Structure 1
Amino acid sequence: MLKTVLLAALLHTAAPAKEKPDLKTPYEQGNGNQTATYQEAIAWYQKLDEAYEEVQMTPVGMTDVGRPLHLVIVSTDKDFDPASIHQKNKRILLIQNGIHPGEPEGIDATMMLVRDYLQDKKLRKQLDNVVLAIIPVYNIGGALNRNSHTRTNQNGPEEYGFRGNARNLDLNRDYIKTDSRNAQTFHQIFREWDPDVFMDNHTSNGADYQHVMTLIATQHNKLNPTLASYLSGKMVPTLYAEMKKDKFPMVPYMNHPAETPESGIIGFMESPRYATGYTTLYNTIGFVPETHMLKPFHQRVDATYKLMENMIETIHRDADEIGRLRQQAKRETLAQQKFPLDWQLDTTKVAQIPLLGYEARYKPSEVSGLERLYYDRKSPYSKKIKYYDEFTPTVTVEKPVAYIIPQAWREVIERLKTDGVQLQQLQRDTTLTLDTYYITDYKTSPRAYEGHYLHSGVQVETRHMPRQFFKGDYVVYLNQPANRFLVEVLEPQAVDSYFAWNFFDGILMQKEYFSSYVFEDLAAEYLRKDPTLRKKLEERKKQDPEFAKSARAQLDFVYKNTPHYEYTHMMYPVGRLMQDVKLPL
């Protein structure tokens, strides 16, 4: 018996202890000017997952390049269920990296940050009420398209990915139109995890200045007022103060209409095509850190690390307040009756902010011989500049009880389903009298933009009219968390509506016409029977000399005022049900 015990003890002693893997990142193993490849980043997170029970990495869905999009969750109580995490009143911070893989600071900084928070007891304490959800590399296709030249204006790293994804789409323009599989998977992640705060790490372009970090916060006028008050009054000032202590004083993103920023900068009004424009629709506070392209890569990584560290500390400190305010904002959005669709800058409201810049000077160009701009780094300055960051709505709409969407518009239905919208279907053919828009005017971009020819300046006329809908057509009630998203995509005047992105272009082309020599007699008969129409025609001829000279234009005028003209031309197919009536659902 004694021999058996001794043998067992010897065997136990001889068994090698399980060693923690080497979690030094590829960036740390390099020379300070190298960033992890996509393969290296995923392999590193796999090691982190194996080393810590508090970490779970999961492939969520596919991307355009055929590789899965991974989500890494860091939860110190090992709870990886988003519903349960929200029930525990914990806050969720979603960090996204590599949407533009040529701007890779976030990829490297986040890897080091997560490891440090797991290994440092003081930092780890901040994760008691904060769960991290991390997309290691969002634009995988772009990350695999590695090169050293496409970021022409950028100071390192030695190699990096490309801005376009596998379909050459800029994914930071794809959150609403959702043409990419990447965006479809992101919607799945975002709607399931419902993050309280979102960070999308970037690198800037533009002017030269002393700051390493600039910041885009969710545009406060667009954010729910309850959250906007906290964001502008407490959260953003805290981040600025803490970054200044960390020797990375920040300034808002340098969005300046003039050639140089001294004359003032304008707050970035992000529409829902952009990451934080989309996340705002669900009352998530969003940030886009933009490090300065001309600073050494190691400084940009350090600044991104520090900002994320300060973000976690702020969320940890204000966890209960953020949770309470978000719940209030969600209730207010459910009850909200009027929604803004477009905005304009209010130039009467201006703030003064400090800028650490360099003097802008001019000299002859060695290329053209003409005057060219340069920034003189031997002449730094600290001065106040104008900051315009107040916007007012220019178009506002009253929300309907429900939208009725004919099933024929399947691309639209598919996108609503991708976003987790609650849909119902008519169980029999039904005639409904409701509000219907007719498009009366719009402008279209002459060149392709992200695979589309965007419409803008949309004008509509509302008609209250009976419409025939069919079994299987969709009913979308505005009594759900997606209310604001639905208004932004289904109201044609919204900047990033599905109409603006060409998903309803079939209505813009007339399908039936007339032969002039045949319609002449019929038109004359309509004018004899309808004196009012005759009067309208004569008034139009007086007002428009070109119209008065065109027989075809006058026939067309009569045609469009008769039952022969197709009522579906320019008719926006989504109906607006303004009263709650019983539907066969």
Structure 2
Amino acid sequence: MLTTLLLAAGLLASSPAADTKPDWRTPFEKGEGNTTTTYAECIAYYQRLAAAYPEIEVRETGSTDVGLPLHEVIISADGDAEPSSTRQKNRRVLLIQNGIHPGEPEGIDASMMLARDLVQQKKLRLLLQNVTVVIIPIYNVDGSLNRNATTRANQNGPREYGFRGNARNLDLNRDYIKQDSRNARSFAELFRKWQPEVFVDTHTSNGADYQYTMTLIATQKDKLHPAMSEYMTKRLLPALYGGMEKKKWPLTPYVDFEGRTPDARGIQGFLETPRYSTGYTTLFNTVGFVTETHMLKAYKPRVQATYDFLQVLLSQVNTDAAAIATARAEADRQTAAQRQFTLAWQLDTTQAETFNFRGYQGKTKPSEVSGQPRLYYDRKAPFTKAIPYYNTFRPSVQATAPRAYLVPQAWGEVIERLQRGGLQLQRLTRDTTLTTEVYFIEDYKTGQRPYEGHYVHNQVRVRPEQRSVAYRRGDYVVWLNQPQNRLAVETLEPHATDSYFAWGFFDSILQQKEYFSDYVFEDVAAELLRQKPELRQQLEARRKADPAFAKSAAAQLDWVYRQSPNYEPTHLRYPVARWQGGSLPTE
């Protein structure tokens, strides 16, 4: 009997059910190094991790244009997944975003492995001592579902991948400030909720060939608030470059160049305006990074390099938690009191630093397609040489902030975007007439072809005037005493690069709604000139100065019309006014 029981026990102990341990390999790890997870596999894997480890929570955080939810994965040492208590515990927040371009999926796979290792490996768990990690598993859910094997013509794997455009064919890395997509609106709300000190957006590069597996875009140092910029340039970036060098992944700044090859004239910093991920996060004094693994390297090392970068970054944020908190607090404090803002930047080509670039010689040979000379990079001819790096930008357009902006409630799309960014808006409690500074749009250029769903305006020129304007109860006041001041100024000053005027949110003011019949207005204009001799003198001066104007009866009649009381006062008047006075009747 005893022998029988022991035999049964032995059989039970050696049964597959008893020996089986959970398989925590990701779909990428189960493959042969050239596969990436699907959206369904990715979310299911995180949910499985969350069910097994209390340190991880997975939840929906808004919608996407394809109708499926956006997810956030929160990883903390004690399982605390609430932003408010995370801040009370004095922890930094590192936000990792993956799959904005799902054909560039390294970060998707790397983050799955990192999340697992953070809870399974004791050494890595220590990196959560001062940091909460928030992961967006796949931001462009829409494009991730649109899998194919052909659209990334320049890329070496994986075998299948997602598509760059989302369900509305938008490039989401041009949508942060305009927020046409539900994806971008969900991101803005998530970002406001967590207020991360550090953000990273994972990508794959296009462009030249070189020896590096990864290149890096750091928030442009001159655009970032000086307190955060000093920390980033003097401490964080050296630590990242040194840490990746130790892991055998030497880094270089993102290879953006104007010459024939990177070594011909050097490379230049990437200027991320608020349409881009790190341009948007910069508005809130967040240090941002875009990792760009090289398209021609095999997929497996690209994933590993991304994994190692995320780990090195997390380690440094954990180490520098106190320094980051101090820099961020000072940046927020100064921004709330800031009066002078830069609206546009220009590269200073007289300033450059030199670094040793590891590239391949660019050569030419006859094209098999055209027969003409074509460029190729000779991997049998590697080099390391000193080249210039231009990364100093100077302000080209600046504005002095008012005490507040007045935004009529009619412009709901603009108001919603300001609120999503965390700006506190007040509303007028009664109808009132105020003398405010208003802009008139004097000139602008518009792209001849649509760009991301808009005909974008540029080279905007404005004329400020003091005007008495009637406001209604419920109109909005944006006081510029907030850490989010940059969001207000860079969107509401119409001549800013990515202002809401530039993106076409105010286009209806550019069109006249009333006009005249020339044969009727001829008599009205003649009477006006008789009553105002000074106006006739101005008209005659215009004729003398402009022969084409003098020959055009229509142009002259239109000129008189624009000087008359009949011309609508709101034509070309930008509706957001600048308030420099005192208190207002607000709620």
The normalised TM-score by structure 2 is: 0.95
Give, as a single letter, the amino acid of the residue that structure 2 aligns with 1:376.
D
Residues 254-265 of structure 1 correspond to what in structure 2 (within 5 A)?
Answer: 254-262=255-263, 263-265=265-267
Aligned to 2:315: 313
Are 1:439 and 1:571, in contact at CA under 8 Å, matched by a contact in 2? yes
Q: Structure 1 residues 529-538 or 316-325, which shifts more? A: 529-538
Aligned to 1:412: 414
Give, as a single letter, the amino acid of the residue that structure 2 aligns with 1:580.
G
Aligned to 1:485: 487
Instruction: Give the distance between the partners of 2:205 and 2:539, measured in 1 at CA.
Output: 57
Shift in Å at residue 397 of structure 1? 1.0
Are 2:421 and 2:487, in contact at CA under 8 Å, matched by a contact in 1? no
Give, as a single letter, the amino acid of the residue that structure 2 aligns with 1:557.
W
Shift in Å at residue 427 of structure 1? 2.1
Aligned to 2:94: 93
Q: Structure 1 residues 420-429 or 106-115, which shifts more? A: 420-429
Equivalent of 1:550 in 552, 561, 565: 552
Residues 335-346 of structure 1 correspond to what in structure 2 (within 5 A)?
Answer: 335-346=337-348
Shift in Å at residue 416 of structure 1? 2.1
Instruction: Give the distance between the partners of 1:127 and 1:530, measured in 2 at CA.
Output: 76
Equivalent of 1:443 in 439, 442, 445: 445
Tell me which stretches of 4 or more aligned residues in structure 1 moved more than 6 Å: 16-20
Instruction: Give the distance between the partners of 1:386 and 1:341, measured in 2 at CA.
Output: 27
Residues 68-79 of structure 1 correspond to what in structure 2 (within 5 A)?
Answer: 68-79=69-80
Instruction: Give the distance between the partners of 1:458 and 1:38, measured in 2 at CA.
Output: 42
Instruction: Give the distance between the partners of 2:85 and 2:212, measured in 1 at CA.
Output: 40
Instruction: Give the distance between the partners of 2:478 and 2:532, measured in 1 at CA.
Output: 41
Shift in Å at residue 343 of structure 1? 0.7
2:102 matches 1:109: no
1:410-435 Cα deviation digits (max 9, x unpaired): 21122223323222222221101100
Shift in Å at residue 17 of structure 1? 9.1
Shift in Å at residue 20 of structure 1? 6.5
Aligned to 1:282: 284
Are 2:418 and 2:487, in contact at CA under 8 Å, matched by a contact in 1? no
Instruction: Give the distance between the partners of 1:417 and 1:20, measured in 2 at CA.
Output: 48
Are 2:102 and 2:143, in contact at CA under 8 Å, matched by a contact in 1? yes
Instruction: Give the distance between the partners of 2:21 and 2:194, measured in 1 at CA.
Output: 30
Q: How many residues in Structure 1 have an aligned counterpart in Structure 2?
A: 573
Are 2:215 and 2:294, in contact at CA under 8 Å, matched by a contact in 1? yes
Secondary structure at the counterpart of residue 324 of structure 2 = helix
Aligned to 2:5: none
Are 1:353 and 1:387, in contact at CA under 8 Å, matched by a contact in 2? yes
Give, as a single letter, the amino acid of the residue that structure 1 aligns with 2:549.
F
Instruction: Give the distance between the partners of 2:131 and 2:586, measured in 1 at CA.
Output: 45
Instruction: Give the distance between the partners of 1:514 and 1:230, measured in 2 at CA.
Output: 61
Are 1:339 and 1:487, in contact at CA under 8 Å, matched by a contact in 2? yes
2:146 matches 1:145: yes
Aligned to 2:295: 293
Instruction: Give the distance between the partners of 1:78 and 1:243, measured in 2 at CA.
Output: 29
Instruction: Give the distance between the partners of 1:349 and 1:441, measured in 2 at CA.
Output: 32
Aligned to 2:6: none
1:141-200 Cα deviation digits (max 9, x unpaired): 100000000000000000000000111110000101001111111111100000010000
Are 2:228 and 2:327, in contact at CA under 8 Å, matched by a contact in 1? yes
Shift in Å at residue 258 of structure 1? 2.1
Aligned to 2:391: 389
Cα RMSD of the aligned pairs, angstroms, is 1.6
Are 1:23 and 1:47, in contact at CA under 8 Å, matched by a contact in 2? no
Aligned to 1:43: 44
Instruction: Give the distance between the partners of 2:535 and 2:256, measured in 1 at CA.
Output: 52
Aligned to 1:231: 232
Are 1:425 and 1:472, in contact at CA under 8 Å, matched by a contact in 2? yes
Give, as a single letter, the amino acid of the residue that structure 2 aligns with 1:398.
T
The normalised TM-score by structure 1 is: 0.96
Are 2:335 and 2:484, in contact at CA under 8 Å, matched by a contact in 1? no
Aligned to 1:26: 27
Aligned to 2:405: 403
Aligned to 2:67: 66
Cα pair distance change 1:183/1:17, threshold 3 Å: farther
Instruction: Give the distance between the partners of 1:411 and 1:366, measured in 2 at CA.
Output: 52
Residues 457-472 of structure 1 correspond to what in structure 2 (within 5 A)?
Answer: 457-472=459-474
2:380 matches 1:378: yes
Are 1:98 and 1:106, in contact at CA under 8 Å, matched by a contact in 2? yes
Aligned to 1:474: 476
Are 1:21 and 1:47, in contact at CA under 8 Å, matched by a contact in 2? no
Shift in Å at residue 480 of structure 1? 2.1
Secondary structure at the counterpart of residue 201 of structure 1 = strand
Instruction: Give the distance between the partners of 1:573 and 1:20, measured in 2 at CA.
Output: 65
Q: Structure 1 residues 309-318 or 411-420, which shifts more? A: 411-420
Instruction: Give the distance between the partners of 1:279 and 1:489, measured in 2 at CA.
Output: 14
Are 2:335 and 2:482, in contact at CA under 8 Å, matched by a contact in 1? no
Instruction: Give the distance between the partners of 1:580 and 1:42, measured in 2 at CA.
Output: 52
1:305-348 Cα deviation digits (max 9, x unpaired): 11111101111111100011101100010010111101111111
Shift in Å at residue 511 of structure 1? 1.3
Shift in Å at residue 19 of structure 1? 8.2
Instruction: Give the distance between the partners of 2:179 and 2:285, measured in 1 at CA.
Output: 20
Are 2:404 and 2:578, in contact at CA under 8 Å, matched by a contact in 1? yes
Shift in Å at residue 21 of structure 1? 3.4
Cα pair distance change 1:320/1:299, threshold 3 Å: same
Instruction: Give the distance between the partners of 1:208 and 1:242, measured in 2 at CA.
Output: 23
Instruction: Give the distance between the partners of 2:449 and 2:397, measured in 1 at CA.
Output: 26
Equivalent of 1:530 in 520, 529, 532: 532
Instruction: Give the distance between the partners of 1:307 and 1:546, measured in 2 at CA.
Output: 63
Segments of 5+ residues of structure 2 without an aligned counterpart are 1-8
Instruction: Give the distance between the partners of 1:218 and 1:417, measured in 2 at CA.
Output: 24
